[in-house]
Structure 1
Amino acid sequence: KVLLDEEFKLRPERVLSVKAGLLYMASPNNPTGNQFDRSAVEEVVEGFSGVVVVDEAYAEYGRYTLIREAPARENLVVLRTFSKAWGLAGMRVGYAVANRKLATLLKERGMVFACSSLSLKAAELMLERWNEVEKAVEELKRAREWMRTEMSRLPVRVYPSDANFLLVKLPVSSSWARERLLEKGFAVKDVGRMPLCEDSVRVTVPPKPIAETFIKAVGEILER
């Protein structure tokens, strides 16, 4: 494991100092929500001697994708999913983009029946509705930035996000806050035990009316 820096940035020199045959990174990252600087990721891909797997599960909410680069790279595999922006979490549909050699290797090592015909049909139908998905993604991005601005008025730190959630650092115990918010009808993910995330919770971006009530609830528990 290679830790990010205190601002959750990817430091290529740290990664490239590790000897390994395979490197996995999620960008946008979970639970921090940030997408690593493209130049930093590309530096890692170019300098790493093994295979680099970049999980772009939340890339629709981010600033860029490496999909178009993957086929031309010798050691890059990009993973995508229909579980997030496409709304098909229960269908378990995803895909990998890589050069022909790596793609063939993945196919040979993969499950014989990786997806059901129903799941594949659902994914096909969603592709035909890309305009609707794109609109929903843009709406969520606006809601995310609004929510981050409003929550920043509280005595908390809300980190920038390129995903459909926010990481919030609290001035109180994250486990205590989780229980108090649950009493008010809100479920957040306590990530306080994860590296660099002490006293932090992950909050999925909801519709604005729910977000307003949630922000009020956070303010109330912090006043105790």
Structure 2
Amino acid sequence: MENLIRKNIQNLVAYKVDAPQYEIIVNANESPYDFPMILKRKFTDEICNTDLNRYPEACFPELLKALSDYTGIPTDGIICGSGSDELIAMINQAFVNPGDVVVSHSPSFDMYNIWANISDSRHIRVPDLPGHLPDVDGLIKAACDNQAKLLYLCNPNNPTGYIFPKQDIIKILDAVPSLVVLDEAYIEFFGESGVDLLANYPRLLILRTLSKAFGLAGIRCGYALGNKPVIDVLYKVKAPYNLNVLTQKLAVLALQNRDKTLKNLAEIKSEREKVMAVLKEFPNLTVYPSGSNFIYFETPLAEKIYEALLSRNILIKRFKETGTCPESIRFSMGKPKENQKILEIIREVVYNEA
């Protein structure tokens, strides 16, 4: 059997995620607020009037129209996928040959590396500068020296929360030969998108999702914005019915009712600032600025904090030490009472160890 498996897949560790069964879950950057009940009821009525024995719309025209209204990008400049994950897979399938180079800053979203490995490409990860500032010149050099096919920019970045200034994005676009993938999964928490750059940069592709700010991680709906020639290439590798009818209808409902689905943005950002202010007062924690719905901090107490929270039925994200990063924690914003409870436990650990 082993000789039948592609060599680059044999040593690949499967990305398996166990269903979390915890009282408080702040490990996956999800919204702590569920989809509004009034819209759930409307969705239920729509599904009762939908023929589920038929395949869904293969090119999701109603969803593209709703996304166009939201982003200002024409429908022929948009493609949808089952979360950003599927879109990253499609990008690799369409553009990357075995042996090609893919560049990203590091640390960043794991799926860039996973799909680089699956596509049998060479992934160059450019470590952040001190203070978790991406090495813009290093990224440009890596992409140019290696004629990289793809260059990923995660903005705001997961897991560090860093924001790329617009001038740095432009500097990279002006310099590299690559398709630049600007991942804006968390852009609603920051606000300054790179969508306006699409008009002048044909090799720019922007990834978005409804999983974060819209609170719809459960329906798996992501989308990419780009110029028509790039989007047309992605349609060549898209599965015919990659978004089921339930996902499409719920996504349209969310986009058409943005006043309801995005109403908690201000509170989440306010909680982020409050929690960050408290964490900065604790010893042995290095807290970094964030433009997202989570906070990232490095600490030698990461394992003890993680275990203490786990023992209280709370799941947070812990990163083990690597060659370039010390032990760290990513803390997704929960509801105010949840955040307060987590802070109390972190305080206990920090001051017991001081």
Q: Shorter chain as normaliser: what TM range?
A: over 0.9
TM-aligned CA deviation for residue 2 of structure 1: 1.2
Partner of 1:126: 254
Root mean square deviation, CA, Å: 1.6
Contact 2:156 2:292 in 1 (8 A): yes
Contact 2:205 2:226 in 1 (8 A): yes
Q: 2:184 aligned to 49, 56, 62, which one?
A: 56
Partner of 1:169: 298
Partner of 2:289: 160
Deviations 1:43-100 (A, max 9, x none): 1111111100011111111141112322431110000001111111121111111111
Higher mean alpha-carbon deviation, 137-146 vs 206-215, is at 206-215
TM-score (norm 2): 0.60
Cα distance in 2, alignment partners of residues 10 and 38 from structure 1 = 13
Q: Which runs of 5+ in 1 are unaligned?
A: none
TM-aligned CA deviation for residue 127 of structure 1: 0.7
> In the TM superposition, what are the counterparts of 1:64-83 in structure 2 within 5 Å?
64-83=192-211
Cα distance in 2, alignment partners of residues 62 and 192 from structure 1 = 27
Query: Do residues 202 (structure 1) and 326 (structure 2) align?
Result: no
Higher mean alpha-carbon deviation, 66-75 vs 26-35, is at 66-75
Partner of 1:28: 156
Partner of 2:133: 9
The percentage of aligned residue pairs carrying the same residue is: 28
Partner of 2:234: 106
Cα distance in 2, alignment partners of residues 23 and 223 from structure 1 = 42
TM-aligned CA deviation for residue 196 of structure 1: 4.3
SS at match of 2:159: coil
Cα distance in 2, alignment partners of residues 143 and 149 from structure 1 = 10
Q: Comparing both chains, which one has the higher relative contact order based on Cα–Cα distances under 8 Å and sequence gaps of 6 or more?
A: 2
Change (3 A) 1:52 1:212: same
Contact 1:6 1:196 in 2 (8 A): no
Q: 2:307 aligned to 179, 182, 193, which one?
A: 179
Change (3 A) 1:161 1:132: same
Give the number of aligned pairs: 223
SS at match of 2:262: helix
Cα distance in 2, alignment partners of residues 170 and 128 from structure 1 = 42
Contact 1:27 1:36 in 2 (8 A): yes
TM-aligned CA deviation for residue 178 of structure 1: 0.9
> In the TM superposition, what are the counterparts of 1:210-221 in structure 2 within 5 Å?
210-221=338-349
Q: Which runs of 5+ in 2 are unaligned?
A: 1-124
One-letter amino acid of the counterpart of residue 25, structure 1: L
